[in-house]
Amino acid sequence: MTNFLRKYRPFVSAGIEEAIVYRANFLLFALGNTLGAFVTYFLWKAVFQSSTNSSLNGFTFPEMVLYIFLSFFTGILTSSDGSSSVGDEVKDGSIAMRILKPISFTANYFYEEIGSKLIDVGVLAVPLFGGILIYQIVGKGTPVLNLVNLLLYFFSATVAYLINFYFNICFSFTAFFFRNLWGSNVLKNALVIFMSGSLVPLAFFPPVLQNVLKVLPFSSLLYTPVMLYLGKYSAEQTISVLLLQIFWLIFFIFLAKIIWHFAIKHLSIQGG
């Protein structure tokens, strides 16, 4: 185990250093995303103002505000870039250099991403999560801050990140067959945004669709941790959504192993 850590630790620091090199890029990305979150905020404000009910589908306006910013923060926390980087590397053939090292392909990506994620989340957590906490303490009619929910949230968000990582790795291996991932990536992202509840809470969908979406892995990526934070689940529901998350995590870890086994045989390194 210590040997394992020694072997992969350099990737974490390499990831951190690379993230720092491109810090301006990252700050612009964060700024763009924040603007997006505010647009969503004003949209929902208009929706609530035009409605005669003070709560929609079980969400009060302050809860909705928390949902918007928390799902935005969770989105960053659990995002995984694996599929586009594997796609790019397959396209230009540089993936060869990774395969030629005596290390696990998946672990290599994972630790590099952890490194840059530490920086991303570190930079954003203070203003964003701080803002959310202040809003909860100062704002009127906001859900009460709850330590258990907070811990559940962080646990569930970590699992969500791992699911997302392996899901993206599975997806990215299709690049070995298609050679280029750009198109399918756009489709995948649109579907994930819709089905994970990051665009609209799943509670707003028709009941039949809701039940389907809740079982699919996508709700585990974002909806589950955010709803846990908001305290929307009973004790039993909490256990069942967490078990579902863990199920999907194990599922994708195995799927990734199986796909890798076949994909590596199909790999053709492009370019001289």
Partner 1 sequence: MSMIEVSNLTKDFRKTIKSPGLVGAFKSLIKPKYETFEAVKNLSFEVPKGEILGFIGANGAGKSTTIKMLTGILTPTSGYCRINDKIPQEDRQNYVKDIGVVFGQRTQLWWDLPLRETYSVLKEIYNVPDKDFYKRMDFLNEVLDLNDFITSPVRTLSLGQRMRADIAASLLHNPKVLFLDEPTIGLDVSVKDKIRHAIEQINQEEQTTIILTTHDLGDIELLCNRVFMIDHGQEVFDGTIKQLKNRFGHIREIEFELVNAEDANRLNFSQFGSAIEYSQNEKNVRVKFDSSKVSVPDVIRLTLSQVDVQDISVKDADIEDIVRRIFRKEAAEHD
Minimum distance, C-beta of residue 120 to partner 1, in the bound complex (Å): 16
Please say whether the beta carbons of 169 and 83 come within 8 A.
yes
Minimum CB distance to partner 1 smaller for 35 or for 264: 264
Phi, psi of 142 (to 5 degrees): -85, 155
Does 261 help bind partner 1 (rule: CB under 8 A)? no
Question: Token pair of 80, please?
Answer: 């995984």
Of these, 2, 3, 53, 54, which contacts partner 1 (CB under 8 A)?
3
Task: Tell me: does residue 265 bind partner 1 (CB under 8 A).
Answer: yes
Of the pair 49, 268, the CB lying nearest partner 1 is at 268
CB 186: neighbour CB atoms within 10 A? Answer: 10
Quick one: tokens of 10? Answer: 């350099």
Q: Contact letters (x/-) for partner 1, 36-75, by CB under 8 A?
A: ----------------------------------------
Q: Is 231 left (phi over 0), alpha (psi -120 to 50) or beta?
A: left
Backbone angles phi, psi at 53, to 5 degrees: -80, 145
Residue 150 Cα distances to 71, 120, 247, angstroms: 14, 20, 22
**Minimum distance from CB of 124 to partner 1 (Å)?**
21
Residue from 62, 93, 143, 231 in contact with partner 1 (CB under 8 A): 93
| Smallest distance from partner 1 to CB 67, Å | 37
Residue 21 engages partner 1 in binding (rule: CB under 8 A): yes
22 binds partner 1 (CB under 8 A): yes
18 vs 57 by CB, closer to partner 1: 18
Q: Would residue 93 be called left, alpha or beta, if left means φ above 0 and alpha means ψ between -120 and 50 degrees?
A: left
Write down the least CB distance from residue 182 to partner 1, Å: 16
Query: Which of 196, 169, 249 has the alpha carbon at shortest distance from 72?
Result: 196
Considering only 60, 84, 94, 146, the residue that binds partner 1 (CB under 8 A) is 94
Binding to partner 1 in span 101-160, by CB under 8 A: 101-104
Q: Which residues contact 77 (CB under 8 A, 6 or more apart)?
A: 121, 157, 160, 161
**C-alpha torsion sign, points 179, 180, 184, 185:** positive
Beta bridge partners of 59: 56
Determine the size of the site formed for partner 1 (CB under 8 A).
Answer: 29
Binding residues for partner 1 (CB under 8 A): 3, 6-7, 9-11, 14, 17-18, 21-22, 93-94, 96-97, 99-104, 264-269, 271-272
